[in-house]
Amino acid sequence: MPMHDNLNPQAESHLHGPLFKNALETLEEAAKLINCDPNILERLRRPRRSITVSVPVRMDDQSVKVFTGYRVQYNSTLGPYKGGIRYHQNVDLTEVVGLAALMTFKNSVLGLPLGGAKGGVCVDPTKLSRTEKQNLTRRYASEISSFIGPTKDIPAPDVGTDPQTMAWFMDTYSQEQGGYAQPGVVTGKPVEIGGSLGRNHATGLGVIYVCERAMEMIGMKMSGSRIVIQGFGNVGSFAAKFAFERGARIIAVSDVSGGIHNGDGLNIPQLIEYVKQNKTIKGFPHSQPVSNEQLLELDCDALLPCALEGQIDTHNAENIKCKLIVEGANGPVTNAATKILHKRKIFIAPDVIANGGGVIVSYFEWVQDIMSFFWDEADVDSKLKGIILKAFDTSYKLQQEKNIDMRSAAMAVSVQRLEKAMLLRGLYPR
Ligand code: GLU
């Protein structure tokens, strides 16, 4: 793929991570499908702005540790930049670039008036005390504060961050703006300070709306189906809850400690209580342990990878035994694995649609903050359903017409919308 000539390869090393490489491959394919303007494609191949900051933090033992943080603003043609903030020990600039690209394509295919961005700090949040996590969040927020704001770039939670993190983020930004509350600077906040009802469960609920619709399309039913879920954080645990309530049997789930399995189905409400007390799924009664590798290869109807990227690649794609994959995580199935699974007639509901519930309700939260007028939860859930299923149905139609995989179809819809908007806005200065 032609990137750029005459450039020092070292200067572009942040553009060569595996996640971004995957995103670029799907972009190139989609561009071909829609016959995208080559100048637009050239611009879509790289992030607009990549910010790296040092984040010095006073630890509980009074020593100072310096962490590295990032914010990548990929594209703002459709609106203010939008995307989460990840705290994880594997975060680096290449990963954040990949995630920011995915946010751009996600917000476009969902039809939201938002651009795409992502942030992260390279840190293991499980090793931080509450005070240390607060110190880290406030200093990171301060370091990037001149680049964010309710009309500029609106962060949100992702892996390792939560509503409390967003509360500290919003407070730091507001204090630095003279103390005036600025709820619209981040989404995924607690409801008491301008968060939206339904935001916390939104990604998991969206995954299940998409799972149900995909099942319908391939002649299956949610009730009585056997589902395997990788990851039991904000996305996986709510997806499990909503699937369980719809009569599905959740036969296996996993978290960082490994997986648990019960062929008759796990009792999800009890498991959620167990995790509240024990902080892990490990040792849950009436279940057998399984490894992460075994879990992905279990015989089931639907597999929901809701953890991290790169979980299903060319090494295990041939061994996957489900009929349907719904990507709750960002980038869990590589592009090469997508092709293998498509040949094997395993249907994939791609991340840019399937996990879009989070950013859709983030959009609602931002709108509610601007209006200072708040909606009830049923209203939020039903508006979420309308937007996510519209994106699914539009992409599904294209997938059927062109006989391609759903990822390519979703990307084609996304790139087409971006292309139109970029052509209308033109290139500045010209
Ligand atoms: N981190 C979530 C995602 O990957 C949500 C982003 C947002 O709400 O802005 O889509």
* DSSP per-residue string spanning 20-34: HHHHHHHHHHHHHHH
Instruction: State whether 177 and 224 are in the same domain.
Output: no
CA distance 353 to 340: 20
Please give the distance, rounded to the nearest whole angstrom, from the Cα atom of residue 107 to the centre of ligand 1. Answer: 10
Radius of gyration of the chain (CA): 21
Residue where a domain terminates, one of 326, 349, 372: 349
Instruction: State whether 251 and 317 are in the same domain.
Output: yes
Kindly report the protein residue whose alpha carbon is nearest to atom 9 of ligand 1.
Answer: 83
pTM, to two decimals:
0.97
CA distance 324 to 218: 9
Residue where a domain terminates, one of 181, 212, 236: 181
Take residue 256 and report the two structure tokens written for it.
């960082």
In CATH, what number is assigned to the domain containing residue 142?
3.40.50.10860
CA distance 267 to 211: 20
Take residue 374 and report the two structure tokens written for it.
């708040």
Whether residue 403 lies inside any domain: the answer is no
Torsion of CA 408, 113, 199, 19, to 10 degrees: 40
Whether residue 41 lies inside any domain: the answer is no
Q: Which domain, by its residues, includes 71?
A: 47-181
Whether residue 2 lies inside any domain: the answer is no
Residue where a domain terminates, one of 127, 151, 181: 181
Non-local (6+) Cβ contacts of 295 within 8 A are 228, 230, 252, 254, 259, 261
Instruction: State whether 330 and 226 are in the same domain.
Output: yes
CA distance 162 to 37: 39
pLDDT at site 8: 81
Instruction: State whether 90 and 126 are in the same domain.
Output: yes
> Please, what is the end-to-end C-alpha distance for the chain in angstroms?
26
The structural domain count of the chain equals: 2
Instruction: State whether 77 and 163 are in the same domain.
Output: yes
Instruction: State whether 223 and 297 are in the same domain.
Output: yes
- Stated length of the chain: 430
Pick the atom of ligand 1 nearest to 159's CA: 1
pLDDT at site 3: 54
Sheet with 258-261, strands from edge to edge, namely 288-290, 258-261, 249-255, 226-230, 302-305, 324-326, 347-349
**Top mutation candidate among 95, 105, 148, 158 for ligand 1, by most atoms within 8 Å of CB:** 158
Amino acid occupying residue 305: P
Q: Which residues of 353-384 are buried (b: 16+ CB within 10 A; e: fewer)?
A: bbbbbbbbbbbbbbebbeeeebbeeeebbebb
Pick the atom of ligand 1 nearest to 363's CA: 8
Please give the distance, rounded to the nearest whole angstrom, from the Cα atom of residue 165 to the centre of ligand 1. Answer: 14
Please give the distance, rounded to the nearest whole angstrom, from the Cα atom of residue 358 to the centre of ligand 1. Answer: 5
| Residue pair 305/297 in contact by the 8 Å Cβ criterion | no
Whether residue 115 lies inside any domain: the answer is yes
Whether residue 383 lies inside any domain: the answer is no
Instruction: State whether 171 and 220 are in the same domain.
Output: no
Among 32, 82, 106, 118, the one annotated catalytic? 118
Instruction: State whether 206 and 72 are in the same domain.
Output: no
Ligand 1 binding site (Cβ under 6 Å of any ligand atom): 82-84, 156, 158, 187, 330, 355, 358-359, 362
402's enclosing H/E stretch is helix 377-402
Whether residue 187 lies inside any domain: the answer is no
By C-alpha distance, which of 144, 116, 49, 111 is closest to 391?
111
Pick the atom of ligand 1 nearest to 355's CA: 10
Whether residue 71 lies inside any domain: the answer is yes
Q: How many CB atoms lie within 10 A of CB 211?
A: 28
| Residue pair 402/33 in contact by the 8 Å Cβ criterion | yes
Burial class from Cβ neighbours inside 10 Å (0-12, 13-18, 19+) for residue 49 reads middle
The owner of tokens 């709750």 is: 328
Instruction: State whether 209 and 267 are in the same domain.
Output: yes
**Top mutation candidate among 362, 365, 367 for ligand 1, by most atoms within 8 Å of CB:** 362
pLDDT at site 13: 87
CA distances 124 to 137, 164, 187, 230, 363, Å, are: 13, 17, 23, 20, 28
Mean pLDDT, each 10-residue run in order, the chain (430 residues): 64 91 97 98 98 98 98 98 98 98 99 98 98 98 98 98 98 98 98 98 99 98 98 98 98 97 98 98 97 97 98 98 98 98 98 98 98 98 98 98 97 98 97
Is 118 catalytic? The answer is yes
Instruction: State whether 264 and 341 are in the same domain.
Output: yes
In CATH, what number is assigned to the domain containing residue 219?
3.40.50.720
Instruction: State whether 274 and 142 are in the same domain.
Output: no
Please give the distance, rounded to the nearest whole angstrom, from the Cα atom of residue 146 to the centre of ligand 1. Answer: 21
Torsion region of 35: left, alpha or beta (phi above 0 gives left; psi -120 to 50 gives alpha): left
Write down the H helix ranges in 35-181. Answer: 38-44, 93-109, 130-143, 163-176
Whether residue 68 lies inside any domain: the answer is yes
CA distance 202 to 322: 25
Q: Kindly write down the DSSP assignment for every residue of 288-322, as one continuous string.
A: EEE-HHHHHTS--SEEEE-S-SS-B-TTTGGG---
Instruction: State whether 108 and 170 are in the same domain.
Output: yes
